[in-house]
Amino acid sequence: MSENTNGNPGFADLNLPSFLLSALGKLGYETPSPIQAATIPHIIEGKDIVGMAQTGTGKTAAFALPTLARIDVQLNAIQTLVLCPTRELAIQVSEAFQSYASGMHGFHVLPIYGGQDMRGQLRSLKRGVHVVVATPGRLLDHLSRKSIDLSRLKTIVLDEADEMLRMGFIDDVETILKSTPDSRQVALFSATMPPPIRKVATRYLKDPIEVRIETNVTTNENIEQFYWLVSGTNKLDALTRLLEVEDFDGMIVFVRTKTATVELADKLNARGYSASPLNGDMSQTIRQRTVEQIKKGSLDILIATDVAARGLDVERVSHVLNYDIPYDDEAYVHRVGRTGRAGRSGKAIMFVTPRERRLLRSIEKTTRQKIAQMELPSRNELITKRSRDLKSSVSEALKMELSDVYRNVVAELQTEEESSVEEIAAALVYLAQKDRPLIPPKETPRASYDDKREHRPRNDRDGGRRDRGGDDRKDRGDRKGRKNNADMESYKIAVGHKDQVTPREIVGAIANEAGIEGRMIGQIRIQDQFSVVDLPKGMPKETFDILKKVRVRKRQLNIERFQDNAPPQKKHD
Ligand code: AMP
């Protein structure tokens, strides 16, 4: 059986218990993605499922939410097992479980992967966990040691099954499937369906429901489409640079969550743009008023979610910016269609992280249109644009009848400072452009501070490939000399020997959350109460804020500068 999502159900229509609905509300999720709408009700009912979906489509929540709904927290036993191809994915998935389960008192999830300290895993297992998210090799190690008991398992999820096949884990996956009770439910997620995966589905799944999100849509020809591959500059800086250089009338910036609409609008307002959020939490009156404002031109930028901007028809909108890539091709077409209205031309720009390239290809395939790659405006373009803007406002001012007081000040400066009119004018230009310097500061390459973990191709990430045996000496060992000390600064994080933290866990968390490549992370000095880690200079505030909240060993890192305890400087550019 194959299902498509044409209607637009809300989370409340998917039979999810109220504690999950309120967790989703807190996370700012507005509406289920197509894969979520199509799979959640079936998984809750206990049906086996084959879901064709890739990363970025919201598939983690598509299995995490319904399996959480089936968990009995009072029962101290592993009830859901998720198998993932890589360590990073295992960590990411277990964090997702943790955040969705925020209202489930006493709930425990444990990521298990090769290279991680076995004793820690054994201790956590002894304490009791409800969900295990594991890479296959390490899970087999536990099964052969009998340190994991799957006898009460209700659901097994195979996440990114085609990746597990590609990485040579498929035999392990079968062995694990055979070690689970017959009564368990199987949910298999895979971006593609190569024959060996199809075989697993046929052999181990009972009357599975097959969910494939099909889209058949096209975009308007009068809309130019571009994407920028997120690298070297974070998304917020990239956006402000585009806002400065792009000639736009009105713009809609699309993000994924309601929370992000508010946060991003605040950040843009702080940077001097007139931006407003538009999300499903706002009352109808306020939404209408916001739309009126952008129509009339008293507002230029809307930061919107898909739901809130559905069907929006504002002629002034010359640009659509996909700050977060949409999780399905159809949403892309809807978003892009908010520009190029009434026969006008429009421009659509999308930020794509390296990890999301597959989604980009899928959009191109669906819309049968190539999306051109673009570079961010260069520093020279910024200089030209800023000079041009300044000249045009000076030219306006020259047309005004200015009082003699202004001229007198210039004359006085000439004598008092013994300066020429050109020198005084240059100083005034400098003052006028203090916030947007005509000569922007030079960029320091910050390859390590890209948006989340987006650097290497996924099968190239360390630790993910061969998790069995878990040789972690590479990361544990001496990280000295990885990077020149002059390029690094030291940060204090709130985990230490008291938490039994390992260098590998610290590297894993920082690499995963801040997108800092493992090799860019310098020395790690673990002390009793805290640790000190060297990271590349020039950490953007956004990364810093993320790292403050990251948890390792259940403890928030609360990262701070080690030497002077000051937060990193705000970037200028
Ligand atoms: P995934 O495909 O599971 O890797 O999810 C991609 C991203 O989308 C994650 O950052 C999720 O937090 C986010 N996400 C998943 N479902 C939703 C939703 N219904 N609304 C907003 N964001 C979501």
pLDDT (tens digit per residue) in 496-536: 988 888 887 888 778 766 767 666 788 888 888 899 998 88
By alpha-carbon position, which residue is closest to atom 9 of ligand 1? 58
**By percentage, how much of the chain surpasses pLDDT 90?**
51
Answer yes or no: same fold for 2-212 and 223-377: yes
32 CB within 6 A, ligand 1? yes
Is 449 a residue whose pLDDT tops 80? no
Pocket flag, ligand 1, residue 29 (CB < 6 Å): yes
Neighbours of 425 (CB within 10 A): 13
Pairing of strands 155-158, 185-190: parallel
List, for residues 338-387, the tens digit of each pLDDT value: 888 767 789 999 999 988 898 999 999 888 889 999 998 888 888 888 89
pLDDT of res. 76 = 95
Q: For 173-187, 194-208, 229-243, which range has the lowest pLDDT when averaged over its residues?
A: 229-243
pLDDT for the residue numbered 92? 85
Reading the block at residue 331, the tokens are: 């949403």
Residues 408-424, mean pLDDT to the nearest whole number: 93
pTM of the model: 0.55
| Tokens, residue 120 | 């820690």
Does the CB atom of residue 256 touch ligand 1 within 6 A?
yes
257: Cβ below 6 Å to ligand 1? Answer: yes
| Residue among 163, 327, 452 to mutate when testing ligand 1 (max atoms within 8 A of CB) | 327
Is residue 572 very low, low, confident or very high in pLDDT (cuts 50, 70, 90)?
A: very low
Residue range 223-377, CATH number = 3.40.50.300
Per-residue DSSP letter, 154: -
Beta carbons of 59 and 35 less than 8 angstroms apart: yes
**Was domain 2-212 assigned CATH 3.40.50.12500?**
no
Q: Dump the DSSP string for 351-385.
A: EE-GGGHHHHHHHHHHHT-PPEE-PPPPHHHHHHH
- Indicate the pLDDT class of residue 100, thresholds 50, 70 and 90: very high
The domain locations on the chain are 2-212, 223-377, 380-432, 466-561
In the predicted structure, residue 464 carries a pLDDT above the cut 70: no
Give the CATH fold of the 466-561 domain: Alpha-Beta Plaits (3.30.70)
- Which strand ranges, in their side-by-side order, compose the sheet holding 524-526? 524-526, 531-536, 488-493, 560-561
Least confident segment among 307-321, 415-429, 511-525: 511-525
Q: pLDDT at position 206, please?
A: 96
Q: Give yes or no for residue 188 having a pLDDT over 70.
A: yes
User: Tell me, what DSSP letter sits at residue 345?
Assistant: -
Residue 428 CA to residue 451 CA, distance in Å, equals 38
Residue nearest to atom 12 of ligand 1 (CA): 58
Q: Which atom of ligand 1 is nearest to the CA of 257?
A: 21
pLDDT in tens, 131-175: 999 999 999 999 999 999 999 999 999 999 988 888 889 999 999
Distance CA 349, CA 367 (A): 15
The secondary element (H helix, E strand) that includes residue 302 is strand 301-304
Residue (of 253, 250, 339) closest to 293 by Cα position? 250
Average pLDDT of the chain, as a whole number: 84
Residue pLDDT, tens place only, 193-229: 888 999 999 999 999 999 987 654 566 778 899 999 9
Closest ligand 1 atom number to CA of residue 92 = 4
Looking at the predicted structure, is the pLDDT value of residue 546 above 90? no
Looking at residue 180, the DSSP 8-state letter turns out to be S
In this structure, the strands spanning 301-304 and 250-254 are: parallel
CA of 96 to the centre of ligand 1 (A): 9
